Amino acid sequence: MAPLARPPSPHRVRVTPAFRPSSLAVPGRAPLAQSRPRELWLAIHLPSLLLDSLRDVALALPGRPPVAIVDLGRNGKVVRACDEAVRAAGVREGMSINAALALVPGLHALARNARRERQLLEAVAQRGVRFTPRVSLEPPDGVLLEVRGSLRLFGGASQLCLRLQQELENATGVAVRFAITPSPLASLWFARTGPLGARPVFVRHRDELASRLASLPLGCTRWPERSIEVLGTMGVRTVGECLRLPRDGFARRFGQELLATLDRATGRVQEPRAAYAASERFAARRDLEPEAADTARLGLALDPLLEELCQFLRERGRGVQVIEVQLRHRAVPVTRVRLRFVQPVGAQPRRMAELLRERLARLVLPQPVRNVRLLSGPLLDLQADAIGLFARDRRESGENLPQLVERLRARLGNDAVHGLTCVPEHRPEAAWRAVEPAATPQAGRKARGPAAMTRQSTTSRAEARTANAEARRTRPAWLLDQPEPCTVDRLVFEEGPECIESGWWDGHDVARDYYVARNPQGARLWVFRNRRETTAGASWFLHGWFA
């Protein structure tokens, strides 16, 4: 007989811990302290931003002299940047321009241009939007991209940096340095150090930041010069030596702000970043040399600007409904050409170019054009057109209706093409108004389906009979602008009378009896008898013709 199983003792209960301390190593698994961070920030540092912003100006100088960028805002001309040849001669940043000229007599000084620097920085940020939606500016020479979700998409950190570098070189031609860490400030510090072309620094875990930052010089922090000099006299010249100082004493001596900077760089404190908001309107300009006197050449000059506009829209996934071309002359006001689309249009350069050429073909230039400028209206969300599932061809689906309306407007003018809509008004001349053409033929159709059936079910029988009687009434397709007096001696009345009395609230009161009549030639007319006295003295009027 088999022995009975021994019941477990209440004093021998084995408890499995719900978690393991981070100090214990688990085979095949990283410790919890080194888990993947929620964010990885890629810093883009532009070490020669000042020179790159004025590169075209320097290249246009006769003889290509050595160039230095000077700052005029410090009570004198101070060198802020210079090329390698000038630096090899001994010129350094912060040196006065007179001292620099003594070292390099042929030096050409260019004034710093803050607007160009900002434009170049935003151009780098706009290229970064192609890799991640989270982009932040770090003036004067840094851009930050949150790329944790983009690493797998682009094949890892190395491939992402390589593609971004190629994109920036092709678009802006700037020299850049990269670094990726869980802290945006640490990424900037790493990117500011090291030679150009070196392998980007990649720190994957937050716990590694303090040890990896230890060897960086304090100059990468861009703290006040006085604070760095005082730390240097104390023998503190690197970030690691600064981190080993007592926190309370460091805060009392140098302020809480510098201590908070160290905490943000090492990941002790999270650092919220302001997102970069791209421009919501497009503007581009192109000078013409020589000046253009014919519209055909203007169309060719505007094609590159339209390509830039479409790239601008493609990057944002938006569309525009209005674009404006400004043609500037020497001695006469600006000529403006405005295109309005039936519905928001995305990146369709061919469609825009065709409409623009149609409009330019009708344009008479008062003088030759010196430069052209292309402006967009506000960016709009693109709409997906719903076409008939069983449409036999494109004409039946109405897909080409917007292009037709736009082409007619380009040839005849915006005021010559419009849509019509009905107005709840009994007076025929006030029962319609001109509106923007509908984007699709379905826009003006009567609503059908359950919602329409519900509205109809709540209508009384008397109202339904009235609505059916209104539908059976005959209306002409052609109304005269103003009713014309007529005689009815030779007319044959076929329908009527239809009494219309309305308009007492706006001062255009009418009281008419309408008839459908036929003249001796067989044409059908819509006539009415005025039941009130008029200054014309006539009582019968012709108001419309039937086709």
Q: Are residues 191 and 302 in the same domain?
A: no
Residue 86 lies in a domain: yes
Strand duo 177-181 + 41-45: pairing: antiparallel
**pLDDT band at residue 433 using 50, 70 and 90 as cut-offs:** confident
Q: Are residues 437 and 514 in the same domain?
A: no
Residue 1 lies in a domain: no
Q: What is the pLDDT of residue 71?
A: 87
Residue 307 lies in a domain: yes
Helix (H) or strand (E) holding 516: strand 510-518
Q: Are residues 136 and 240 in the same domain?
A: yes
| Non-local CB neighbours of 404 within 8 Å, separated by 6+ positions | none
Mean pLDDT of the chain: 81
Return d(Cα 225, Cα 147) in angstroms, integer: 33
CA distances (Å), origin 530, targets 384, 526, 527, 539: 50, 13, 10, 5
pLDDT over 80 (residue 274): yes
Residue 10 lies in a domain: no
What are the pLDDT digits (tens) for 452-491?
A: 333 333 334 444 444 444 545 678 888 888 899 998 888 9
Return d(Cα 125, Cα 135) in angstroms, integer: 7
CATH code of the domain in which 351 resides: 3.30.1490.100
Average pLDDT score over residue span 275-301: 85
CATH code of the domain in which 179 resides: 3.30.70.270
Q: What is the pLDDT of residue 138?
A: 93
CATH code of the domain in which 88 resides: 3.40.1170.60
Q: Are residues 248 and 292 in the same domain?
A: no
Q: Are residues 300 and 419 in the same domain?
A: yes
Residue 310 lies in a domain: yes
Range of the domain at 71: 55-112
Q: Are residues 208 and 353 in the same domain?
A: no
Q: Are residues 154 and 180 in the same domain?
A: yes
Phi-psi region of 235 (alpha: psi -120 to 50; beta: other; left: phi over 0): left
What are the pLDDT digits (tens) for 237-269?
A: 999 999 999 999 999 999 999 999 999 999 999
**Least confident piece of the model among 18-32, 144-158, 285-299, 365-379:** 18-32
Residue 519 lies in a domain: yes
Q: Which one of 112, 131, 150 terminates a domain?
A: 112
**pLDDT band at residue 428 using 50, 70 and 90 as cut-offs:** confident
Within 13 Å and on the Cβ side, how many CA atoms surround 357?
13
pLDDT over 70 (residue 98): yes
Q: Are residues 302 and 429 in the same domain?
A: yes
DSSP per-residue string spanning 272-321: --PPP---SS-EEEEEEEEEE-SHHHHHHHHHHHHHHHHHHHHHHT-BEE
**Total residues found in the chain within this entry:** 547
**Least confident piece of the model among 6-20, 240-254, 522-536:** 6-20
Q: Are residues 249 and 303 in the same domain?
A: no
Cα 444 to chain centroid distance, Å, stands at 31
Number of domains in the chain: 4
**pLDDT band at residue 447 using 50, 70 and 90 as cut-offs:** very low
Q: Are residues 225 and 250 in the same domain?
A: yes
Strand duo 283-292 + 369-376: pairing: antiparallel
Q: What is the pLDDT of residue 2?
A: 44
**pLDDT band at residue 374 using 50, 70 and 90 as cut-offs:** very high
User: Whole-model pTM?
Assistant: 0.57
pLDDT over 60 (residue 35): no
pLDDT over 90 (residue 160): yes
Q: Are residues 506 and 427 in the same domain?
A: no
Q: What is the pLDDT of residue 438?
A: 61
Average pLDDT score over residue span 74-93: 85
- Map tokens 């390589």 to a residue: 162
Residue 306 lies in a domain: yes
Cα 471 to chain centroid distance, Å, stands at 47
Q: Are residues 313 and 445 in the same domain?
A: yes
Residue 355 lies in a domain: yes
